Structure 1
Amino acid sequence: MKLQVITSNQGKLREFQAALPQVEIIHNDADCDEIQADTLEEVVLSCIEQLRSKGLNNFILDDSGLFVDGLQGFPGVYSSYVLRTIGNAGLLQLMDGRTERQARFKSCIGALIDSEVIIAHGECQGKIAFAESGTEGFGFDPIFIPDGYEVSFAELSLAEKNKISHRGNALRAFSAQFNSR
């Protein structure tokens, strides 16, 4: 089976390739307008419908977000925008002086395979660091410390991160649904 991964993020592409070794992954940077929505799943379903209307099939995509308790769940579904505009430094500045640092990464993976929609979710609990650390990963990885660890996602190898990450958990849930079809 060949699946197109719809993303412009090379980090996500590497995570998909590592997590789904039984599937031939083909990169596709197809255009999908991310709607402003309340949930990651709404964004994913909208993108699936947009791409289906363009005649695409046999693809997978992901929308993920960082939800920070001390910021009432912000940036959440706006994570991509926040990362582009204020980055990790800006988010750390918003956290300055806050003691509530619990956070979670959430991921919603959606796929259209042989015209069937598959949706899977994953989550990883953790906290926001006080400073950036590490050079691996991408996005908010340098400021997110997963529960049970003393280091950020950006200090873990890709294989180690995929064992515990939100996207890794969502990909395992997706794989179980995909394999049971």
Structure 2
Amino acid sequence: MKIIFATGNRNKLKEIQAILGDRAEVSIPADHGVTEEIPEDAPTLEGNALQKARYIHERTGLDCFADDTGLEVEALGGEPGVFSARYAAVNGAGEGHASADNMALLLRRLEGQQNRRARFRTVIALIRNGEEHLFEGIVNGEITLKKSGTEGFGYDPVFRPEGYAVTFAEMAPELKNRISHRGRATARLIEFLNAEGGE
């Protein structure tokens, strides 16, 4: 099957294509002439994922899906949450979607904090045959004291998943994809597509 992933982030495209394997041929909006920034200003991950998927579906008429991911830190009341990608920018501590600024602000806010529990949560919104579906994936873990590793992107260098001694950024991509929040949400997406004969 062919499907559009409503993102401009080629890291996310590469990760999701690796998880989907040969079950689907994934393209991005730019491949279909949609090059503008996709709006994502809803107050929840679910709302953002649906907003992005609807935006692309309205412009292409094709099956598509979008995801939104938030890092939710217990000691910070669930921050950065829906603002994860622009955490520093919305707090006047950086510009745009700079991961280094986001991580620096997060580590500053957790200085001296014993409770470093956190979770990554991904919501995928699928529009297939005109119908909307939501899938969620969660991975629990903790925020490390400093950055470690060079793989992955976003907050991967400061997030250590439960049951592992290394951060996402220190893992081989295959392992991260298997256990990550996006991997778990995508697994639910795949189950759905397989169940309805979409393989």
Bucket of the pairwise TM-score, normalised by the shorter protein: over 0.9
Distance 2:165 2:14 in 1: 24
For residues 138-179 of structure 1, give each alpha carbon's deviation from its aligned partner in whole angstroms, at most 9, with x where no partner exists: 000000000001110001111100111000000001111111
Equivalent residue, structure 2, for 1:35? 41
Alpha carbons of 1:36 and 1:27: their partners in 2 closer, same or farther (altered >3 Å)?
A: closer
In structure 2, give the amino acid aligned to 1:36: A
Q: Conserved in 1, the CA contact under 8 Å of 2:56 and 2:64? A: no
RMSD: 1.4
Select between 10-19 and 101-110 the one with higher mean Cα deviation.
10-19
Equivalent residue, structure 2, for 1:74? 79
Equivalent residue, structure 2, for 1:8? 8
Q: Conserved in 2, the CA contact under 8 Å of 1:17 and 1:25? A: yes
Select between 26-35 and 91-100 the one with higher mean Cα deviation.
26-35
Q: How does 1:9-158 map to 2 (within 5 A)?
A: 9-21=9-21, 22-29=23-30, 30=34, 31-37=37-43, 39-82=44-87, 84=97, 86-158=101-173
Equivalent residue, structure 2, for 1:164? 179
Q: Secondary structure at the match of 2:17?
A: helix
Q: Give 1:9 shift.
A: 1.5
Aligned pair count reads 180
Alpha carbons of 1:18 and 1:113: their partners in 2 closer, same or farther (altered >3 Å)?
A: same
- TM-score with structure 2 setting the length: 0.85
Q: Secondary structure at the match of 1:106?
A: strand
- TM-score with structure 1 setting the length: 0.93
Q: Give 1:24 shift.
A: 0.9
